[in-house]
Amino acid sequence: MEDVQIIKEIKAHPFSGSAFPDETRDYIEELYKRYYSQCYNISRYYGMKKHDAEEVVQDSFIKVLKRIGSFDDSRPFKPYLFKIVLNTVRDKYRENFKHSHASIDSLLDEPSEEQQILIDSFHTKSLFHSIIIKMPEKVKEVVLLRNFSGLLIEEISEVAGVGRRQIHNLLNKGYEIIKRGLEEENK
Amino acid sequence: MTSHMSDLELEKLIRSSSFNDSDPDLNKFWRKWRNSVNPDHEEVYMPGKKGGFIVVWVVCFIIIAAGGWFGLTKYSEMVKLQKIDKGEAIVVSMVVGDAEVKNQGATVWKPMAIEDTLQMGDTVRTAADSYCELQMVKRGVFRIESSSEVYLATLVNENDNVNSKLKLDKGQLVLKPNKLKTGDSFQVETSTAVAAVRGTRFSVGVNDTGDTTVAVDEGAVSLQPVIPSIDAALTNGKLDQTTSQDLKNNLIKPVIVSPGQQASFTKTNSDNLNSAVSKALDKISANAGGQVTDTTNIVSEVKSEVASNLPPVPQSSGSISNNNSSLEDSLIPTQKLSDDSAKILNQVSADMIMSNASAMYKIDVNSDPEGAELYIDGVDKGITPSEIIFEKGKQISIKISKDGYSDFTKDVIIDSQMNINAELTVSTNVEVPETNTNTVAQIQTNTNTAPVAPPQTGGTCCRQKTSGRA
């Protein structure tokens, strides 16, 4: 079933009180399972711990469901979802670093030494991951959307709020960073 | 190698490096959804929630507060017991009818109840048809009769010796002090006389006209008049301190009231004596040209003047004094103990004196029907329902009587707080009265009070406990 059909079904049977009708629950769960992995990976590559990344996905879908009534189902759903995911990730960062008294802006641009340690601790899975997380914010956003959301260039352009040409430039820049990082590691 | 990697190969590599350490947990999602939509129904078992901490803090606060309250209660109870044990406080062991206390420094009277404690400086008063018993543990037992007012001036001194001074303004006080040790003193003062004792059973009464009567059936009591005019002469400068004290001690010697006797010092005699002493001191002071400081002859001089100024004292009937030959005997005639006085003296006895402040138990005596006369060891203790304090281990004999019903009797050994419930059975040969004609007063408890019914018959003094059940 296409996303648009699922969204229409959910909109046709909105929640009352705190509960959705059973049939709507099935559609929501289908949507949740369909995009969970992509949303989760984007959150993880942004430096979230496992628990925080899971919360980001849950919170993102809750936002989607609460706003589903005002969603224009003639438009593609995925860009809408990943825009919410990216905003939720940023909100989560602000929440986490508010408690650690760190600046989100500095984290999202050039990581400090302290943040580097933090990032390393988040992403020890591979060197590859650590390269992505050090990327400038906009480059990282585009690279992750391109590789984990399954969005088309046009859709990424919509989510990122930049033109398609700019998306290509950001992707090229991102891939160059990755290649350079891998080469340096191999020296 | 990597510099020759195409973008497609690189994307493949990136996508193959995805995180696979989490699966969509739909239960978690829906739980979070419910909490986000309805925060008031947040799951209580979820860890790390603020509500959980609040509950923990509230529970901790309650535990601490309860512990503090328990500790304070226990501590105040311990202090109270220590005071009772040292004689600094006395316990109200029984209250029949209306009895009130005005604590030292207070301006209002408050109802007195069984188990209350009284301290030096407190004043107790009883209403008509009411009385109360007070326990000075190990030291004595007092019974304050109806329409009386007693001020507890002192109880013990700083060395814990008994130094009891009670001031009886009106009414009657029956006392059974324990055997006093060296250094102990026990006296009751009225407006006209002082009764001082050493190990005896006696009563002191002041009637409406101010007459003081002391009745004794054990040991001996010395009764000495109070002469305010001597203090007045000291204040006015007619006497110096030594002379005034000499006059107080020796002008009117204490009259010894022996067992089986009672002595009365009337208000008339007191006023006449006071007036005669005042006149004598005025005359002697005038002759001396000012303050009298010669103590050698002052007592005999004043005595002589008083004898000539004092109006003749009528010979009281039944007097057993030595023909009123001395001034003391004429002023304070002694008589044989009357039956009424003997009956009152029987209200207190040595075995009623408690010896352990921490082993007192309250006994609640009830009967069906209520309003029956209660006797403990043969002594009238008012009417049922009633509460009385006894010492642990004491054996008592309870008798409950009511017109038209068979007597209820029971022997009890006090080993805890007890409830005695007597089901009175109708007597086969006596007609049961339709109404309770005995109820005339009430017993004050520490719970509440019930209205008092007016007396229906004369004679029997019956009282009702104010348990709210009547």
Residue B8 contacts A where some CB pair is shorter than 8 Å: no
Report the DSSP beta bridge partners of residue B189. Answer: B167, B194
Q: What is the pLDDT of residue A8?
A: 87
B83 pLDDT above the threshold of 50: yes
Q: Tokens 């398609």 appear where? A: A164
DSSP 8-state assignment for residue B332? S
B113 pLDDT above the threshold of 60: yes
Residue A124 contacts B where some CB pair is shorter than 8 Å: no
- On chain B, the residues whose CB falls within 8 A of the CB of A19 are 34
Q: What would the DSSP string read from start to end of B141-158?
A: EEEE-TT-EEEEEEEE-T
pLDDT tens track for A54-73: 999 999 999 998 888 888 88
CB contact under 8 A, B41 and A18: yes
Q: How far A127 CA sits from the closest chain B CA (Å)? A: 10
B358 pLDDT above the threshold of 50: yes
Say which of B10, B13, B38 has its CB closest to residue A18. Answer: B38
Interface with B, mutate which of A85, A91, A182, A185 (most B CBs under 10 A) = A182
Q: What is the pLDDT of residue B31?
A: 85
Q: What is the pLDDT of residue B403?
A: 86
- B451 vs B447: CA distance, rounded Å: 14
* Nearest of B457, B419, B451 to residue B438 by alpha carbon: B457
Residue B14 contacts A where some CB pair is shorter than 8 Å: yes
Q: What is the pLDDT of residue B453?
A: 39
B123 pLDDT above the threshold of 90: yes
Q: What is the pLDDT of residue B458?
A: 36
Return all residues near B331 (Cβ < 8 A) that are at least 6 apart. Answer: B225, B252, B265, B269, B273, B313
Q: Kindly report the CA angle at A36 between A33 and A39, in degrees rounded to 5?
A: 160
Res. B63 pLDDT band, cuts 50 70 90: very high
Least confidently predicted of B83-92, B111-120, B340-349, B432-441: B432-441
Instruction: Return the higher-pLDDT residue of A64 and A18.
Output: A64
- On chain A, the residues whose CB falls within 8 A of the CB of B32 are 55, 58-59, 62
Q: Tokens 């002071």 appear where? A: B285
> E strands, B305-417, where?
334-336, 360-368, 373-376, 379-383, 386-391, 395-401, 408-413
- On chain B, the residues whose CB falls within 8 A of the CB of A55 are 32
Residue B9 contacts A where some CB pair is shorter than 8 Å: no
**What's the rounded mean pLDDT across residues B47-51?**
55
**Chain B residue with minimum CA distance to A127:** B17
Residue A171 contacts B where some CB pair is shorter than 8 Å: yes
Q: Which of B44-58, B211-225, B316-330 has the highest mean pLDDT?
A: B211-225
Instruction: Return the higher-pLDDT residue of B211 and B463.
Output: B211
Residue A182 contacts B where some CB pair is shorter than 8 Å: yes
Res. A100 pLDDT band, cuts 50 70 90: low
- B348 vs B201: CA distance, rounded Å: 8
Residue A100 contacts B where some CB pair is shorter than 8 Å: no
Residue type, A156: I
A7 pLDDT above the threshold of 80: yes
Strand B464-465 relative to strand B442-443, pairing: parallel
- B18 vs A37: CA distance, rounded Å: 9
Percentage, residues of chain A above pLDDT 70:
81
B34 pLDDT above the threshold of 80: yes
CB contact under 8 A, A32 and B24: yes
- B430 vs B438: CA distance, rounded Å: 17
- B182 vs B179: CA distance, rounded Å: 10
- On chain A, the residues whose CB falls within 8 A of the CB of B25 are 54
- On chain B, the residues whose CB falls within 8 A of the CB of A45 are 19
Report the DSSP beta bridge partners of residue B376. Answer: B379, B398
Q: Does residue B94 contact residue B381 with C-beta atoms inside 8 Å?
A: yes
Tokens of B28: 């978690």
Q: Rg (Cα) of chain A, in Å, rounded?
A: 18
CB contact under 8 A, B26 and A182: no
B450 pLDDT above the threshold of 50: no
- B324 vs B301: CA distance, rounded Å: 20
CB contact under 8 A, B29 and A32: yes
Q: What is the pLDDT of residue B429?
A: 63
- On chain B, the residues whose CB falls within 8 A of the CB of A36 are 22-24
CB contact under 8 A, A132 and B33: no
On average, the pLDDT of chain B sits at 79
Q: What is the pLDDT of residue B198?
A: 58
Q: Does residue B465 contact residue B384 with C-beta atoms inside 8 Å?
A: yes
**What's the rounded mean pLDDT across residues A139-157?**
88
**Chain A residue with minimum CA distance to B41:** A18
CB contact under 8 A, A32 and B21: no
Q: How far A31 CA sits from the closest chain B CA (Å)? A: 11
Q: How far B45 CA sits from the closest chain A CA (Å)? A: 18
Q: What is the pLDDT of residue B231?
A: 87
**What's the rounded mean pLDDT across residues A135-158?**
88
Q: What is the pLDDT of residue B369?
A: 86
Interface with B, mutate which of A34, A39, A148, A179 (most B CBs under 10 A) = A179
Cis omega (within 30 of 0) for bond into B312 = no
Helices (H), A100-152: 104-108, 113-122, 127-133, 137-144
Q: Does residue B392 contact residue B415 with C-beta atoms inside 8 Å?
A: yes
**What's the rounded mean pLDDT across residues A133-143?**
87
- B150 vs B142: CA distance, rounded Å: 11
- A147 vs A126: CA distance, rounded Å: 17
Q: What is the pLDDT of residue A103?
A: 45
- On chain A, the residues whose CB falls within 8 A of the CB of B1 are 186
Would you state the torsion angle of the CA atoms of residues B50, B56, B57, B58, taken in this order, to the nearest 10 degrees? Answer: 110
B448 pLDDT above the threshold of 70: no
**What's the rounded mean pLDDT across residues B452-456?**
38
Say which of B2, B37, B38 has its CB closest to residue A183. Answer: B2
- On chain A, the residues whose CB falls within 8 A of the CB of B37 are 15, 17-18
A–B interface: beta-carbon pairs under 8 A: 78
Q: How far A12 CA sits from the closest chain B CA (Å)? A: 19
**Chain B residue with minimum CA distance to A16:** B37
> HSE-up of B321 (CA within 13 Å, CB side)?
22
Least confidently predicted of A134-143, B260-269, B433-442: B433-442
Strand B408-413 relative to strand B418-423, pairing: unpaired
Residue B23 contacts A where some CB pair is shorter than 8 Å: yes
Angstrom CA distances, B163 to B137, B141, B149, B299, stand at 14, 15, 20, 29
B271 pLDDT above the threshold of 80: yes
Least confidently predicted of B107-116, B156-165, B274-283: B156-165
Cis omega (within 30 of 0) for bond into B369 = yes
Tokens of B151: 């001020």
Return all residues near B450 (Cβ < 8 A) that are at least 6 apart. Answer: B442, B464, B466, B467, B468, B469, B470
**H or E, element range at B61:** helix B50-86
* Nearest of B288, B291, B327 to residue B311 by alpha carbon: B327
**What's the rounded mean pLDDT across residues B459-470?**
37
pLDDT tens track for B148-201: 999 998 888 777 777 888 999 889 888 888 777 777 788 888 988 888 875 577
Q: What is the pLDDT of residue B140?
A: 84
0.90 exceeded by pTM: no
